[in-house]
């Protein structure tokens, strides 16, 4: 399989064999050499660029938060280095994007919560529009809190041609969801009615929408749970849902609260998929559509009723292997002005863009 290529169900004779291989089937494209900050670097075509979103501390404290995982080779956590001087930050980001002109990428806006500082996000969207040709596809990953609280943001995302919002919700029951996502006191979207209204507003006026459910033993853990979640999503008019596994950590991370929680509450996507479609015939009411694979993830795509359903597996071990091969698989712009090929701010460093 080539990167992000969709292999249709008709071309797959044994899904189980592909599940065994998962991201190991990834066939990287020929890298492209670029001069960045005075040095030569090899880039993977199709990579995504992330302006690490930490204008404020996050307003949720999700039990599974990958941004609180400290890798053993990390000197510090990006999540702890909040963006201080916004003007300097955006000057540096603009400089990085000028150096990358002519190398189209995906824009993946994630990190902490980009919507907690509406003006920061609006300024970023203005900069995106100024570099329109650089980003053929654009995605915001969010808990939706700022979208619920500031009516300017959803239309601004649509105006900036974002392809979709990936909106996190582990369970439709607000009590169950809060046990996992743990919003700060006073964050309105923790309430079910506010979440539902935000979903409707995105569907009505904004870019595309995917709901993202992190599978875990405290919320959605079985096929019956999955189907109940899909029923609720369908009632809201949602057409795309992702059920995402807790990533495989291996021995790459320092033991801590989040790492222990992830290992204790992991739900096996492989077991769910083997139950959903052990061979060629899926569970009643489901249709198998195909698979995609990337350098550290593998997806199986189904349809249930009017909803496209993706089951996503990922491995931070495979991610680490991918970035150590001399080719930058992703670009992350950190709050320190460092452009890196890694989520760790002292790893795969391209250079600093603060003047």
pLDDT per position as a tens digit, 187-225: 999 999 999 999 999 999 879 999 999 999 999 999 999
CA angle 150, 57, 98 (to 5 degrees): 80
Report residue 128 as tokens: 């995106």
C-alpha distance from residue 309 to each of 167, 173, 306, 324 (Å) = 14, 20, 10, 32
What pLDDT score was predicted for residue 23? 47
What pLDDT score was predicted for residue 74? 74
What pLDDT score was predicted for residue 254? 81
What pLDDT score was predicted for residue 81? 86
What pLDDT score was predicted for residue 3? 45
Report residue 97 as tokens: 């994007």
Report residue 58 as tokens: 């996050």
3-state secondary structure at position 6? coil
pLDDT in tens, 90-143: 999 999 999 999 999 999 999 999 999 999 999 999 999 999 999 999 999 999
Ranges of the chain whose pLDDT falls below 70: 1-27, 294-296, 315-323
Instruction: Name 143's Cβ contacts closer than 8 Å, sequence gap at least 6.
Output: 59, 60, 113, 115, 167, 168, 181, 183, 189
Q: For domain 7-348, give the fold.
A: pyruvate-formate lyase- activating enzyme (3.80.30)
Q: Distance between CA atoms of 128 and 163, rounded to whole angstroms?
A: 13
Helix axes 223-235, 269-276, angle to 10 degrees: 80
What pLDDT score was predicted for residue 337? 95
What pLDDT score was predicted for residue 18? 55
Are residues 54 and 83 in contact, defined by beta-carbon separation less than 8 angstroms? yes
What pLDDT score was predicted for residue 295? 67
Domain ranges of the chain: 7-348
What pLDDT score was predicted for residue 317? 63
What pLDDT score was predicted for residue 14? 60
Query: Bridge-partner residues for 213, per DSSP?
Result: 243
Pairing, β 297-304 against β 307-314? antiparallel
3-state secondary structure at position 174? helix
């Amino acid at each position: 399989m080539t990167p992000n290529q969709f292999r249709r169900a008709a071309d797959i004779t044994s899904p189980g064999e592909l599940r065994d291989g998962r991201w190991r089937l990834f066939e990287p494209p020929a890298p492209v050499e670029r001069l960045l900050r005075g040095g030569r670097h090899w880039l993977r075509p199709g990579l995504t660029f992330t302006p690490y979103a930490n204008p404020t501390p996050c307003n949720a404290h999700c039990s599974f938060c990958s941004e609180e995982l400290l890798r053993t080779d990390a000197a510090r956590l990006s999540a702890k280095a909040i963006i201080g001087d916004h003007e300097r930050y955006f000057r540096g980001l603009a400089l990085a994007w000028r150096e990358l002109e002519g190398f189209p990428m995906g824009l993946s806006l994630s990190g902490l919560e980009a919507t907690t500082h509406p003006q920061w996000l609006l300024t970023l969207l203005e900069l995106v529009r100024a570099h329109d040709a650089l980003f053929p596809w654009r995605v915001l990953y969010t808990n939706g809190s700022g979208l619920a609280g500031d009516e300017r943001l959803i239309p601004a995302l649509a105006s900036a041609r974002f392809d979709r919002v990936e909106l996190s919700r582990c369970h439709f029951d607000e009590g169950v969801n809060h046990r996992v996502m743990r919003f700060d006191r006073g964050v309105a979207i923790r309430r079910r009615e506010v979440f539902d209204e935000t979903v409707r507003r995105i569907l009505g006026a904004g870019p595309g929408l995917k709901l993202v459910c992190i599978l875990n033993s405290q919320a959605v853990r079985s096929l019956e749970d999955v189907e109940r979640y899909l029923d609720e999503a369908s009632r809201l008019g949602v057409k795309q849902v992702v059920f995402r596994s807790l990533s495989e950590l291996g021995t790459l991370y320092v033991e801590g609260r989040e790492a222990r929680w992830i290992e204790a509450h992991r739900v096996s996507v492989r077991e769910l998929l083997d139950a959903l479609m052990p061979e060629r015939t899926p569970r009643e009411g489901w249709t198998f559509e195909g698979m995609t694979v990337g350098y550290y993830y593998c997806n199986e795509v189904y349809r249930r009723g009017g909803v496209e359903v993706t089951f996503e597996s990922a491995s931070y071990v495979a991610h680490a292997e991918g970035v150590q091969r001399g080719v930058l698989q992703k670009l992350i712009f950190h709050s320190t002005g460092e452009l890196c090929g890694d989520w760790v701010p002292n790893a795969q460093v391209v250079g600093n863009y603060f003047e």
